[in-house]
Structure 1
Amino acid sequence: MSIVLIAAAFYLLAGWLVVRRLLAVGGARAGFWLLTALSAVALHALTHVLAWRQEGGLDLHFFAALSLVGLGMSALTTLYAAGGRLGALGVVVYPIAAASLLAYGFADSRVARELDWRLELHAWLALLAYATLAIAALLAIMLWLQERALRRHQFRGWTRVLPPLTELETLLFRSIGVGFVLLSATLLTGVLFVHDFFAQRLMHKSVLSALSWLVFGALLLGRWRYGWRGTRAVRWTLTAMALLVLAFFGSKFVLELLLGRA
């Protein structure tokens, strides 16, 4: 539990340091807050590794899955920030990661399972896809806010620290492209390796995931064929992500927390 609290504290510290840099209030140098974020990510990962070793299997219960997605988002955010000017993502992502980790650390219900390697592959692909596409959704929101600020000539401090619109838009579609490939692999391995993939309990999850895949695919096709961008890209991205959240966490919330089924 101490590791969980320390990791959460590092996340919150990293987020606070990012805010100070954005506001230019004597913020620490980039190397310091990146080191803080990396420490949080490493401790977050260590928490799950120790739990898996102690419980003898992979825990993918609601709070565990939420924490792992938060871990993936924070790792991607730190990677993006190290290579450019997207540290602003940390203002949102690091508190989310801290909250998800604390929820996992204090959750009473944990279900560890010995999974076949094929099911583990399916699970890891799903978690990576959700984390990557969640980052894409945040990038879409940042793109929308920046476009609105430019239209209204409201050049506040946070808009100045963001990359140019074209660079932000390029990163958005790269993230969607990677996430789409991961989501495609998730659906494919689900069909091949999960025997009850289309069972009654998983039907709504399968349908919503497939709809999200179709929306993301249509967006990428529209970008390639018609040059879709701006507000249209934002709407399609957020719609697809909403379907994906309902498919995964919505179904897990209902089945595991409301109905009490593992």
Structure 2
Amino acid sequence: MPTLLLALLAVMSYASAALHQALALNRLVPMRPRLIQAVGTLAVLCHAVIVYTSLSARDGLHVGLFESASLIAWLIALTLLAVSLFRPVLAAAAGLFPLAALSLLGVLGLPSPLVESSFPPGLIVHIVTSTLAYAFLIIAAGQAVLIALQTQALKRHRIRGIIQVLPPLTSMERLMFQLIICGMVLLTASLISGTITLDHLMARHLAHKTGLSILAWLIFGGLLWGRYQRGWRGPRAIRWTLGGVAVLLLAYFGSKFVLEIVLDRSW
């Protein structure tokens, strides 16, 4: 099947699954997790082919801004579906699946000329742990947004809609922190492997990425300390989660945008 048709099928699958989840959160249609998992799996499989073809090059791999965004978005969708087999996280698909669809449109419309010819094993470990950390922490951010909506509905005494379809607030918060712990373990492994593998980790063009990644690690570390030592929850936990993810996104995509788009350089 041509790449464009696969991409369109993936985009339509992501969009339909996200729309159904959004309608279900507003109790306009019944919750159908098996249907969302099936449609989401179709989208992820098609997306996987697009990721492979967009990254592949005769002399190495394309690892530009848009290819990286598509890879991370695919991994987020894949992780969300995998975790949904054990935990009730599919509600986050209403916001995360559209991002995966947008990443596909970006990589098809704006291919990168950047090529990396070799990846030593240590660097592969760094890339894998980094992308998995992004996946878990961004899903945690999606969970935080749902908790914020749930909290707002409770304050306004709106017992219908989102309150009736989501798990209890305490369960939602517990799940969010479980995702953050997984993300923190992976982010720690990413920073350690990066320190070992990348001799130029603090080079001028990587200093901002490294510094912001460490700042994100400190934010999530502080959040976990506050949670288990001071009992942080509610709006404070939401702000720290969203703030940490924002810093992490800025660390990678902000630095990559400036280097590739503004300065026309690569890492």
Residue 69 of structure 1 corresponds to 72
Partner of 1:136: 140
Shift of 1:21: 3.1
Which deviates more, 39-48 or 17-26? 17-26
Relative to its length, the structure with more helix (as a share) is 1
Deviates more, 1:220-229 or 1:188-197: 220-229
CA shift, 1:8, in A, is: 1.1
Distance change (3 Å), C-alpha of 1:56 and 1:41: farther
Task: Choose from 249, 259, 264 the match for 1:255.
Answer: 259
Query: Where does the alignment leave 5 or more consecutive residues of structure 2 unmatched?
Result: none
Q: Which residue identity does 2:38 align to in structure 1?
A: L
Residue among 187, 205, 210 paired with 1:206: 210
1:183 and 1:199 map into 2 onto residues whose CA distance is 20
What residue is the counterpart of 2:86 in the other structure? 83
What CA distance in whole angstroms lies between the structure 2 residues aligned with 1:64 and 1:83? 30
Q: Which among 168, 182, 185 is matched to residue 181 of structure 1?
A: 185
2:121 is equivalent to residue 117 of structure 1: yes
Alignment of 1:148-187 (within 5 A): 148-187=152-191
- Is 1:227 aligned with 2:231? yes
TM-score, structure 2 length as denominator? 0.91
CA RMSD of aligned residues (A): 1.8
Q: Does 1:8 align with 2:11?
A: yes
Query: What is the identity, as a one-letter code, of the residue corresponding to 1:42?
Result: L
Q: Return the alpha-carbon distance in structure 1 between the equivalents of residues 201 and 176 of structure 2.
A: 30
Deviation at 1:65, TM superposition (A): 1.1
Deviation of 1:121 (Å): 1.5
Matches of 2:148 and 2:29, distance apart in 1:
28
User: Which structure 1 residue ranges, 5 or more long, are not aligned?
Assistant: none
Instruction: State the shift of 1:168 in Å.
Output: 0.5
For 1:14, the aligned partner's letter is A
**Separation in structure 1 between the aligned mates of residue 33 and residue 91 of structure 2, nearest angstrom:** 12
**1:242 alignment counterpart:** 246
Aligned residue pairs total 262
Q: Is the 8 A contact 2:143 2:172 kept in 1?
A: yes
Q: What is the deviation of 1:111?
A: 2.3
Contact 2:140/2:180 (<8 A) preserved: yes
Aligned mates of 2:248, 2:29 — CA distance in 1: 40
Question: Which of 105, 121, 127 in structure 1 is aligned with 2:108?
Answer: 105
Q: Deviations over 1:42-77 (max 9, x none)?
A: 111122223444545333211111111111221222
- Identity level (%): 37
Q: Report the Cα distance in structure 2 between the residues aligned to 1:63 and 1:9, rounded to whole angstroms.
A: 20
Counterpart of 2:16 in structure 1: which amino acid?
Answer: L
Q: Structure 1, residues 27-51: CA drift from partner, whole Å, max 9, x if none?
A: 5843222111011011111222234
Cα deviation code 1:162-182 (max 9, x no counterpart): 111111111110111010011
Query: Which among 217, 220, 231 is matched to residue 216 of structure 1?
Result: 220
Superposed CA offset, 1:214-237 (max 9, x none)? 111111112121221111111111
Q: TM-score, normalised by structure 1?
A: 0.93
